[in-house]
Amino acid sequence: MRRLSAVLPAALLVLTLSGCDVMKRISEGAYRNAVADGAAVELGERGVRLQGRLSCATPEGGPESVMRIRCTGRTAEGAPVVVTGVATEADTRRPRERYVITVGGRSLMTADCLGRACT
């Protein structure tokens, strides 16, 4: 099973069942970490070195079935890196994900999965 697809439903299940702000932050944090890690792998496989870890945020609002994410960082050479993503049907066992990675304002890749667990 794809890594992000495994993380997202578990995170949202906790969000839905708990109603607790602490659990919501932990679940969103797990998703942000999974996307940051997956994007770093994708960039590395394409020869792009990062200055540090990507910083990711999940904006609030919208329906529970849609989760958005935006990650930013810089390459070792200083070019801006932006990862945007959206997961629809996020409250199901099989969310539909779409990610776009840009480096220096140019699209590097578009994918429905990020990282080594993608097939």
Count CA atoms closer than 13 A to 57's CA, side-chain side.
6
pLDDT computed for residue 119 by the predictor: 62
φ, ψ for residue 78 (rounded to 5)?
100, 0
More confidently predicted of 59 and 69: 69
Average of per-residue pLDDT values in the chain: 82
pLDDT bracket for residue 80 (50, 70, 90): very high
Whether 109 shows a pLDDT value over 50: the answer reads yes
pLDDT computed for residue 107 by the predictor: 97
pTM for the whole structure: 0.77
